[in-house]
Amino acid sequence: MQAIEINGLRKLYGTKVALEGLTLQVAQGEIFGFLGPNGAGKTTTLKILVGLIAPSAGEALIFGRSPRERAVRRRIGFLPEHFRFQDWLSGSELLSYYGHLCGMGAAQRQARIPTVLALVGLDGHGDKRVRAYSKGMQQRLGIAQALLSQPDLILLDEPTSALDPLGRKEVRDLLRRLRDEGVTVFLNSHLLGEIELVCDRVAIIDKGRVVREGPLKRLLQGEHELRITLDRIDGEVLAALAAFGEVRQVDGRTLALQVPDVGAAPRVARCLMEKGYDIYGLTPLHQSLEEIFAQAIKGGDGWSS
Ligand X SMILES: Nc1ncnc2c1ncn2[C@@H]1O[C@H](COP(=O)(O)OP(=O)(O)OP(=O)(O)O)[C@@H](O)[C@H]1O
Interacting residue ranges for ligand X, rule: CB under 6 A: 13, 16, 18, 36, 38-44
Quote the strand ranges of the chain, DSSP E.
Answer: 4-13, 16-26, 31-35, 57-62, 76-79, 153-157, 184-188, 201-206, 209-215, 224-230, 246-251, 254-259, 279-286
Whichever of 161 and 258 has its CB closer to Mg ion, that residue is 161
C-beta of 42 vs 201, nearer to Mg ion = 42
Q: Does 189 bind Mg ion (CB under 5 A)?
A: no
Q: Are 186 and 153 in contact (CB under 8 A)?
A: yes
Q: What is the DSSP string of 30-70?
A: -EEEEE--TTSSHHHHHHHHTTSS--SEEEEEETTB-TTSH
DSSP 3: S
Taking the complex as a whole, the smallest distance from the CB of residue 54 to ligand X amounts, in Å, to 13
Q: How far is the CB of 207 from ligand X (least distance, A)?
A: 9
**Among Mg ion, ligand X, none, residue 18 binds (CB under 5-8 Å by kind):** ligand X
Q: Please identify, using beta-carbon distances, which residue of 46 and 117 lies nearer to Mg ion.
A: 46
The total of other beta-carbon atoms located within 10 Å of residue 264's CB is 17
Nearest residue to the partner Mg ion, using Cβ: 43
Which 8-state DSSP code applies to residue 128?
Answer: S
Kindly tell me which of 42 and 73 has the beta carbon lying closer to ligand X.
Answer: 42
303 binds, among Mg ion, ligand X, none (CB under 5 to 8 A by kind): none
Could you tell which of Mg ion, ligand X, none binds residue 125, using a CB distance below 5 to 8 A set by kind? none
**What letters, b where the CB count within 10 A reaches 16 and e where it falls short, cover 11-23?**
beeeeeebbbebe
Task: Please give the distance of CA 76 from its chain centroid, rounded to a whole number.
Answer: 18
Cβ at position 89, least distance to ligand X in Å: 27
Contact (Cβ atoms closer than 8 angstroms) between residue 161 and residue 12: no
The window from 10-18, 19-27, 34-42, 148-156 that contacts Mg ion (CB under 5 A) reads 34-42
Closer by beta carbon to ligand X, 154 or else 272:
154
Considering only residues 77 to 136 of the shown chain, the ones binding Mg ion according to CB under 5 A are 81
Give the three-state DSSP class for 301.
coil
Nearest approach, Cβ of residue 37 and ligand X (Å): 7
Query: Which amino acid appears at position 165 of this protein?
Result: P
Binds 302: which of ligand X, Mg ion, none (CB < 5-8 Å by kind): none
| CA–CA separation, 223 and 285 (whole Å) | 9
> Which of residues 70 and 82 has its CB atom nearest to Mg ion in the complex?
82
Tell me: does residue 43 bind Mg ion (CB under 5 A). Answer: yes
Q: Minimum CB separation from Mg ion for residue 189, in Å?
A: 10
Q: Which residues bind Mg ion (CB under 5 A)?
A: 42-43, 81
